[in-house]
Amino acid sequence: MAISIYDIVEKAAKTGKIDKGINEVTKAVERGVAKLAVVASDVDPKELVRHIPLICKEKGIKFIEVDSKQKLGIAAGIGVATTAIAIIELGDAKLDSIK
């Protein structure tokens, strides 16, 4: 059974700590406190999030793109669409299942 990124975000939101939104995610990645950055691919305009994978690579932080900002927001427990999530504390979530 494969665990989706949405499941990992949901578990981290419930048992750990996440930051939501482009500005908060950018700050968490720049500070090096993020364990994983997740960005929705349906963000418009794309320029809003283009910098995040670059900063992640520079800081050695895992980066994943998902298909839906709506599903990402639901997984984060906020019920509205969100463009980006940074997992700060994993809680019960495990990153082993992702590459």
State pLDDT tens for residues 45-99: 999 999 999 999 999 999 999 999 999 999 999 989 999 999 999 988 888 766 5
| 3-class SS string, 22-82 | HHHHHHHHHHCCCCEEEEECCCCCHHHCCHHHHHHHHHCCEEEEECCHHHHHHHCCCCCCC
Q: How far apart are CA 32 and CA 79, in angstroms?
A: 27
- Express each pLDDT in 13-40 by its tens digit: 999 999 999 999 999 999 999 999 999 9
- CATH number of the domain that 52 lies in? 3.30.1330.30
If one counts the domains in the chain, the total is: 1
Residue 38 lies in a domain: yes
Give the domain range for residue 45: 17-89
Has this prediction a pTM greater than 0.85? yes
Q: Is residue 75 part of a domain?
A: yes
Positive or negative: CA dihedral 40, 46, 52, 58: positive
Residue 1 lies in a domain: no
Domain for residue 37, yes or no?
Answer: yes
